[in-house]
Amino acid sequence: QRLFPFPHAALPVRGTARYSSPPHHRTAPSKPPAKRHHEDDGPGTHSLAVHAVVEDVLEPVMGAGHSLGEYSAYAAAGALTLTDAARLVRRRGELMWEAGKLRQGSMTAVIGLGIDHTELICADASVDGSVVVPANINAPDQIVISGDPDAVQRAGEGCKAAGAKRVLPLKVSGAFHSPLMEPAEVGLRAELETVAIARPTFPIVANATGSPVSDAADARMQLGAQLTSPVRWGESMQRAASEVGEEARFVEIGPGKVLSGLLRRILNKSESTSLSAVSDIEAFLKEME
């Protein structure tokens, strides 16, 4: 099973919870935005619809969202209205598409090689004005690299030579979560200034830093930084677990179970529940009675 989640969200309940979206969705459209916005909004819409059903029985103490899913997490925490979250997601997709057209990029998943080796290989492969960086640090042995196509190819070959089990090019329309998205970040920050962001009712662990965000100004800052920064998912889950303690229970809310699968590779002793299908939700509600 491919576990390269780009737009996922998560939320810690009673100790820790999560929100999610399906693994086949990409960080940004590979077709023109006008044809893809409804799909890009879909994962977040699903997550928030499920959250609305189970909200009364949840006791979240911290949340997190993988890439696009960070918007779902902030909306669930009351920092963004549903309307503003949807508008930001749409504009984000447009800006990322435009940045990808301006400077072509690519992404490759690296399985079975740690972050330290991957970072060194990316640094060595970034030459002659081309750049490649770790973009999604999903688990200790699962990383996605992103950047200029020639640099990504060199880095992929270097990862293979260093012992990576698999190196898989991904079909994307740009080098997401890399410096190539700087034009998109500028545009998104301008859009974020037009939106009212409230203090989240529970902290959201930021993709860009792996640290909890508890105020509106920091939320605005981190949502902008996300486009050019790596998704530090492993660090985020470790931080959530350390903040909450051993009693943490992670609840993945939305389509699919990718985040729960990743969590087992990050924190193999943590309790995790996925709420995707109607049967999952019904069982959870009954358990929480």
Which residues are catalytically annotated? 67, 177
- Report the SS3 class of residue 95: helix
d(CA 131, CA 147): 5
* Contact criterion met (CB below 8 Å) for 128 and 171: no
* Contact criterion met (CB below 8 Å) for 217 and 79: no
How crowded is residue 273: how many other Cβ atoms within 10 Å of its Cβ?
18
d(CA 55, CA 52): 5
Tell me the H-state helices in 14-68. 33-54
**DSSP codes, 240-284:** HHHHH-TT-EEEEESS-SHHHHHHHHH-TTSEEEEE-SHHHHHHH
Distance, CA of 47 to chain centre: 13
In this structure, the dihedral spanned by the alpha carbons of residues 4, 244, 209 and 106, taken in order and rounded to 10 degrees, is 0
Q: Which residues pair with 108 in a beta bridge?
A: 145, 169
